[in-house]
Structure 1
Amino acid sequence: MHTKRTRINRFSQFMRSFRVIRLLLWTLWVIYRERRRVVRAREQGNYEVQPNVDVLIEVLVAFRQTAIKLGVLMIKLGQFLSTRADLLPERALAVLTSLQDEVPAEPFEHVVSVLEQEYKKPIMELFTSIETDCTAAASLGQVHKAVLATTGDTVAVKVQRPNIDQLVRMDLNSLRFVIWVITKFFHSDFIDMWGFYREFRRTVIEETDFVTEATNAKRFQEMFKDNHAVYIPKVYEDYITRRVLILEWIDGIKLNDYAALDAAHMNRLEIANRTVSAYFYQFFEAGFFHADPHPGNIFVKKDSSPDNPIVTFLDFGMVGSITRGMKRSMRDIFLGFITRDAHAIVVALTQLGFIGAGANAVSIEKAIVLILEQYHGVTLGQMRNLEMGEVTRDIVNLLYGQPFQIPAQFAFTGRAIGTLVGVATGLAPDFNFIEVAIPYARNFLGMDTNSTRETIQELTTKLLENGKVLLSLPRSVESLITRIDAGQMEVKLANLPQMRGRRGRNGGSGGVPITIGGNGRTSLVLMFLASMGGGIYLSNIHLAGPGWFCLGLAGITALGALLRR
């Protein structure tokens, strides 16, 4: 006989709402206050101002402790905040990452109650056996190992926590009220509080519907059906409900259980390679990815051979998608990077939702120029030698110090990549994360043979646009001849301010003064230098088509200069 579902009484609702509102008001206010101070200072050109990280950590530690007691949505909110490099600096983000491993389990009586309510049968008619201790506990549900009575299969039974719908509704209302208070009394053009609320609400609602998760799991099965290095567990169709999901049980070893992997003689470098490759396939090629790849959601199957480890993904409640429009904007960012066009990058970031209406685009553009100076000239091949952690820190600092806001999909992606870097490095310290990513990135950005024509057309258009500017504004020559790899050359034009070329990680630049005279010939020489510099640089980063186009343009320009003599 199934048990009657209980509800939260009025007094308990009031007390919970009071505690949640008090917790959120203080936490979100401190986050808002510190970021506002840093962003405003940097908009005025003061890059020395830093957030008070000690105060943020103190507030977030208190938030984490209370969130564990309140459970459900507060834990999920902490996990969501841990993905937001636009709201918190790096050290503060780390405080919230452990929430994933600190979630207490619900009593087994609750599991029995939900199963009997959903299937209208006594639990022993459903399962030959079911373990009373859960094997995994998350913010919205928990998993128990069982044996199906109908088939005898060993399965994983995922059950939602009690009163999940009521608690989610109450806490979302409290969060909405707190955001209303903050936005009512403190105007903000650099933190989209309502956008943050909408993204969080959508994510939570999707995760509380196990029918959606089952659909996601089946989509991943289809994606990896021909990949024998990746396994997705079977979904039991006849047992799918909104509150219960039954999947094939996987006997496996967690990715961070290094002792067990070594005891099984598993090839840890190959595990790292297959895990990261599977993720980049999802992101770059399928456009649909597992957005929560922490070690508890990725296993190595125990029955796989040591040199042929089979990686298994679990928990498909949190997923992300890359649309065609997003892909085009991301390619625009790449093209803006190689042409050093900070304005084009700002436009693409705005289209992707990173920059909201009313944000100080001039300040953002200046910050992007600093990043371009630091990393411009680093080829895809040279990227293999970069420290991923150092690059990540630079990006996080840029996001926090400028009026950026991270769309949910990219927040999940950033956290997923950060998690994968840590897992892969732990598995194999000599694993090269960027080297695995480069082939997928080439294809994604249209640098493979099938998409070269489109890339050449787009790049050529951008180069010609820069060429027009070069003829009327000599200062823009720096955009395309920032340092010719072979000559390490700096150009100085007579009667014009000195221009500096900088190459981020690969050394300094020398200076050779060049004096140019004559109006018509000056334009031709400028075009020749720009085309030659662009051609050499593009060839070095393996863009052969655009490189030859620029070199050909340089030849035609040189011929024109000779004919004018």
Structure 2
Amino acid sequence: MQRKVPRINRFSQLVRSFRVIRLLLWTLWVIYRERRRVVRARERGNYEVQPNIEVLIDVLVAFRQTAIKLGVLMIKLGQFMSTRADLLPERALAVLASLQDEVPPEPFEHVERAIEAEYNKPVKEIFSHIEPTCAAAASLGQVHKAVLAKTGETVAVKVQRPNIDQLVTMDLNSLRFVIWIIRRFVDTNFIDLQGFYREFRRTVYEEIDFVTEAANAKRFKEMFKDDQTVYIPNIYEEYITRRVLVIEWIDGIKLNDYAALDAAKINRLEVASRTVKAYFYQFFEAGFFHADPHPGNIFVKAGSSPDEPVVAFLDFGMVGSITKGMKRSLRDIFIAFITRDAHMMVAALTRLGFIGEGANPLVIEKAIAMILEQYHGVTLGQMREMEMDDIMQDIVNLLYGQPFRIPAQFAFTGRAVGTLVGVSTGLAPTFNFIEVATPYARSFMGLDANSARETMQEVLTQLLENGKVLLSLPRSVESLITRIDSGQMEVKLSNLPNIRGRRGRNANAAGVALAASGGGRIALFFMFLASMGGGIYLTNLHLDAPGWFCLGLAGLTALGTILKR
């Protein structure tokens, strides 16, 4: 007989909502308060003030403890916050990172009820055997090993936690209410809480729909169908529902189980190389990536050859995408860096969602210009020697008072890369992460041989667009002089002696015309500098053809300057 999952009664809903609101109100208030204190100090010119890390750690430890008791969305919220380097310092983020490993499983009877409610038949008619102890537990669901009654195949059964839809709705409403309270009574221009809510809500609703997860898994299966180094488990179509998902069971060794890998004589350096290459293919070529790459979701498949290990990926509920528009904006950022165009970079960052509502574009543009000035011309070798924490701190110091945020997709990417660096280094300390990443990144940014010409055209277009303004100055000034001389425009000069008569007017017009004739030389001079700088930069990147093209353009503009004389 089918057993229905009981709904949460009204009293329990009220109690939970009160606890969630109290937890969120205190946590978000402390985060906001520390940020406001630092922003106000920096407005007074005191850049030495930093957030009180100990206060933030204390409130986040309390959040973590209560979130584990409340479960479901509060755990998910903590995990989401742990990716937001734009909201919290690194040490504070570390407090929430362990939530991934502290999720308690639901009792097995709850799992049985959920399965029977979803398939409308007893569990034994679907699975001839199902393990009562879960193989893995997450914030929104858990996995049990089972055997299909129909075929005898060993499978993994992923089951959502009871009343997930009801709990998600309740907790999201509580989060939205708390954000409304804070925004209603205090100035939140420098922290985009509304944007944070929208990103979190979208992520959660995508993850609790197992039909979407099944579609993700099938897409990954298609992406890697010709790659013998990567394995994606099969999905059992007839068992796909919103709340239960049945997929192929994978036996293997977790990437961080170094003792087991050594016992099986697996080549750990090759495992690191294949895992990282698989991820960079997802990031830079497919534009669709597995966004939760902790060691529990990546295995070395059982039966693999020690020197040809097969890497298996699991759990496709959390994914990220890099669309064509995002790729274009990322390339615009790269071009803006080459041309030191802060306005172009701010526009690209805005399109990507890094700059929230209420931002002051002029302040951000000025900060970006300072960053470009500081780091422009730094070689890859010099970049390796720099501390990334110091670079990030410089950026944070300049943008702290603005609603500069990290969109979920990029937060996921950052977390994935951070996890991959840790995993690959643990597997093989000699593994060169940058060396593997560079070819993919060059191709993505249009720096490979196939697309260097297209990127060079974009760089030149940007240089020419900047040059057009300077080149148009002589014509604009000449037109202005004509309008003044014909009486169509009146010019009033203050703090200067009053010059009367035809002779005086002609003398002034001649002076302006002289300045206009010099404007062309100034424009060509700036074109020369831009072309020369671009040529030197591109040849340093070993892009000889576009580099010499820029240097040739610099020669032509130099010749033009000489002929102007």
TM range (shorter): 0.7 to 0.9
- 2:464 maps to 464
C-alpha offsets along residues 460-490 of structure 1, whole Å, 9 cap, x if unaligned? 02223455678899xxxxxxxxxxxxxxxxx
- Contact 1:460-1:546 within 8 A present in 2 as well: no
Residues 352-391 of structure 1: matches in 2 within 5 Å?
352-379=352-379
- 2:429 maps to 429
- Contact 2:145-2:157 within 8 A present in 1 as well: yes
CA shift in 2, pair 1:237/1:521, >3 Å: closer
Whole-angstrom CA distance in 1 between matches of 2:365 and 2:22: 38
- 1:34 maps to 34
Residues 280-359 of structure 1: matches in 2 within 5 Å?
280-359=280-359
TM-score normalised per structure 2: 0.86
C-alpha offsets along residues 161-201 of structure 1, whole Å, 9 cap, x if unaligned? 11111111111111111111011111222222222112211
Q: Which has the larger radius of gyration?
A: 2
CA shift in 2, pair 1:22/1:175, >3 Å: same
**Alpha-carbon distance, 1:357 to partner:** 3.3
Whole-angstrom CA distance in 2 between matches of 1:253 and 1:401: 46
**Alpha-carbon distance, 1:107 to partner:** 0.9
C-alpha offsets along residues 24-66 of structure 1, whole Å, 9 cap, x if unaligned? 0000111112223334444565432211111111000000000
- 1:179 maps to 179
- 2:489 maps to none
- 1:235 maps to 235
- Residue 403, structure 1, aligned to residue 403, structure 2: yes
- Residue 190, structure 1, aligned to residue 206, structure 2: no
Matched to 1:536, the amino acid is: I
Helix, strand or coil at the partner of 1:151: coil
Matched to 1:130, the amino acid is: I
Matched to 2:184, the amino acid is: K
Matched to 2:241, the amino acid is: T
C-alpha offsets along residues 404-451 of structure 1, whole Å, 9 cap, x if unaligned? 022221121121111112112211222222222211111111222332
CA shift in 2, pair 1:243/1:147, >3 Å: same
- 2:203 maps to 203
- Contact 1:298-1:312 within 8 A present in 2 as well: yes
Gaps of 5+ in 1: 474-517
- 2:535 maps to 535
- Contact 1:108-1:133 within 8 A present in 2 as well: yes
Whole-angstrom CA distance in 2 between matches of 1:469 and 1:135: 64
- Contact 2:191-2:403 within 8 A present in 1 as well: yes
C-alpha offsets along residues 144-177 of structure 1, whole Å, 9 cap, x if unaligned? 1111111111111111111111111111111111
Matched to 2:295, the amino acid is: P
Between stretches 68-77 and 123-132, larger displacement belongs to 123-132
- 1:414 maps to 414
- 1:265 maps to 265
Helix, strand or coil at the partner of 2:159: strand
Helix, strand or coil at the partner of 1:147: strand
**Alpha-carbon distance, 1:390 to partner:** 6.2
Whole-angstrom CA distance in 2 between matches of 1:348 and 1:120: 50
Matched to 1:150, the amino acid is: K
- Contact 1:384-1:432 within 8 A present in 2 as well: no
Structure with higher helix content: 2
C-alpha offsets along residues 282-331 of structure 1, whole Å, 9 cap, x if unaligned? 11111111111111111111211111111111111111111111111111
- Contact 1:276-1:424 within 8 A present in 2 as well: yes
Matched to 1:95, the amino acid is: V
Whole-angstrom CA distance in 1 between matches of 2:399 and 2:248: 41
- 1:117 maps to 117
CA shift in 2, pair 1:43/1:321, >3 Å: farther
Superposed CA RMSD: 2.5
Whole-angstrom CA distance in 2 between matches of 1:293 and 1:398: 32
- 2:73 maps to 73
- 1:215 maps to 215
CA shift in 2, pair 1:524/1:359, >3 Å: closer
Matched to 2:269, the amino acid is: L
Whole-angstrom CA distance in 1 between matches of 2:232 and 2:43: 48
**Alpha-carbon distance, 1:210 to partner:** 0.8
Matched to 1:174, the amino acid is: S
Matched to 1:24, the amino acid is: L
- Contact 2:470-2:520 within 8 A present in 1 as well: no
- 2:246 maps to 246
**Alpha-carbon distance, 1:532 to partner:** 2.7
CA shift in 2, pair 1:394/1:258, >3 Å: farther
C-alpha offsets along residues 71-116 of structure 1, whole Å, 9 cap, x if unaligned? 0010000011111111111111111000000000111111111122
Matched to 2:162, the amino acid is: P
TM-score normalised per structure 1: 0.86
Residues 543-554 of structure 1: matches in 2 within 5 Å?
543-554=543-554
- Contact 1:39-1:403 within 8 A present in 2 as well: no
C-alpha offsets along residues 336-391 of structure 1, whole Å, 9 cap, x if unaligned? 11222222211110111111232123332343344334432234576566666766
Matched to 1:442, the amino acid is: R
